[in-house]
Structure 1
Amino acid sequence: MAPLPQELFDTIIDEIHDKETLKACALAATSFLPPSQRNLFRKIRLGGHRSRDASASLAEFPHLVSYIRDLTIYMWDMVSNFAAVAAVLRSVQNIESLAVFGRAVNWNRLGYEASSALLDCLSRPSLRFLYLSSMRGVSAALISAATAIPVVSFFHIRLDVREEISEQLHASAPAPRLRHLILGDAGPAVRLICDFLLHPRKPAYTQQIERLEIRIDQHSASYDKRIMTACAATLKYLAVSPADVIRLPLLPSLLEIEIKVFVGDSRRLPAFFAPNLSQIASSLPFVETITLVFVVEPLHPEVEWPDGTPLPIFGLSFMNRTQLLHLRQVHCKLLHRNVFSEANALFDRFVPAIESMMPGLHGTGILECTLDDSQHEL
Structure 2
Amino acid sequence: MFPNLPLELVEVIFTGLDTKSLRTCALLSSSTLESSQRLLFRSVVIDDEHVPHAQSLLEGSPHIAGYIHDLDVRLSNDTPQWVDLSALGSILTTDKLCNLKSLTLRGEDRDWAKLPSLLQNGLHSFLASTYLHTLNLTHIHGVPPSLIIAALSSVRRLGLYQLTIDAIDNSLDSHPRSRPPIPRTEHLIRRETHYLEGQSFLVDLITVPKGGPAYLENVRRLAVSMYLEILPDSLRLIGATANTLRHLELGCGGPRFTTLSVQPLIYNTDMPQPIDLPFLPSLQIIELKVYLGNPVHVPENLHVAIATFPTTIPAIELIRLTFHRPMYPQGRATWMDSTGPFPVLNHSYGERLPRLRTVHCHMWSEGHFDEPYPYFDAFIHERFPGLEGTGVLTISAGGDEYDDLLFS
Task: Please give the TM-score of this superposition, normalised by the length of structure 2.
Answer: 0.81
Q: 1:179 aligns with which of 186, 190, 204?
A: 186
2:70 pairs with 1:65: no
Q: How does 1:170-319 map to 2 (within 5 A)?
A: 172=179, 174-185=181-192, 186-188=194-196, 189-200=198-209, 201-243=211-253, 244-264=273-293, 267-300=296-329, 302-307=333-338, 309-316=340-347, 318=348
Distance 1:169 1:221 in 2: 32
1:9–1:32 CA contact under 8 A, matched in 2: no
Distance 2:388 2:22 in 1: 51
Letter in 2 for 1:304: W
- Give the ranges of 4+ consecutive aligned residues of structure 1 lying more than 6 Å apart after TM superposition: 49-52
Letter in 2 for 1:62: P
Distance 2:12 2:393 in 1: 40
Q: 1:343 aligns with which of 354, 371, 393?
A: 371
Whichever structure has more helix as a proportion of its residues is 1
Distance 1:112 1:54 in 2: 19
- What is aligned with 2:353? 324
2:159–2:190 CA contact under 8 A, matched in 1: yes
2:134 pairs with 1:129: yes
> Which consecutive unaligned segments of at least 5 residues does structure 1 have?
none
Inter-CA distance 47–308: structure 2 relative to 1 (3 Å threshold): closer
Letter in 1 for 2:364: L
2:86 pairs with 1:83: yes
Inter-CA distance 203–224: structure 2 relative to 1 (3 Å threshold): farther
RMSD: 2.8
Inter-CA distance 353–39: structure 2 relative to 1 (3 Å threshold): closer
Cα shift at 1:374:
6.4
Q: 2:378 aligns with which of 352, 359, 376?
A: 352
Inter-CA distance 48–14: structure 2 relative to 1 (3 Å threshold): farther
Q: Which moved more, 1:98-107 or 1:366-375?
A: 366-375
Cα shift at 1:271:
2.7
Q: Quick one: percent identity of the two aligned structures?
A: 26
2:124 pairs with 1:119: yes
Distance 1:78 1:47 in 2: 11
1:25–1:33 CA contact under 8 A, matched in 2: yes
2:6 pairs with 1:8: yes
SS of the residue corresponding to residue 204 of structure 1 reads coil
> Which consecutive unaligned segments of at least 5 residues does structure 2 have?
254-272, 402-408
Equivalent residues, number: 367
For 1:144-170, what per-residue CA distance to the aligned partner results, in whole angstroms no more than 9, with x for missing partners? 111120011110111113313646657
SS of the residue corresponding to residue 130 of structure 1 reads strand
Inter-CA distance 326–81: structure 2 relative to 1 (3 Å threshold): same
Cα shift at 1:195:
1.8
For 1:14-60, what per-residue CA distance to the aligned partner results, in whole angstroms no more than 9, with x for missing partners? 53243333333333333333333333322222226888754441243
Cα shift at 1:264:
2.5
SS of the residue corresponding to residue 92 of structure 2 reads helix
- What is aligned with 2:164? 158
2:145–2:172 CA contact under 8 A, matched in 1: no
Distance 2:213 2:236 in 1: 12
SS of the residue corresponding to residue 100 of structure 1 reads strand
For 1:77-116, what per-residue CA distance to the aligned partner results, in whole angstroms no more than 9, with x for missing partners? 5883222200111132221110111101111112322211
Distance 1:28 1:98 in 2: 31
Distance 2:18 2:7 in 1: 16
SS of the residue corresponding to residue 131 of structure 1 reads strand
2:318–2:358 CA contact under 8 A, matched in 1: yes
Letter in 1 for 2:125: D
SS of the residue corresponding to residue 15 of structure 1 reads helix
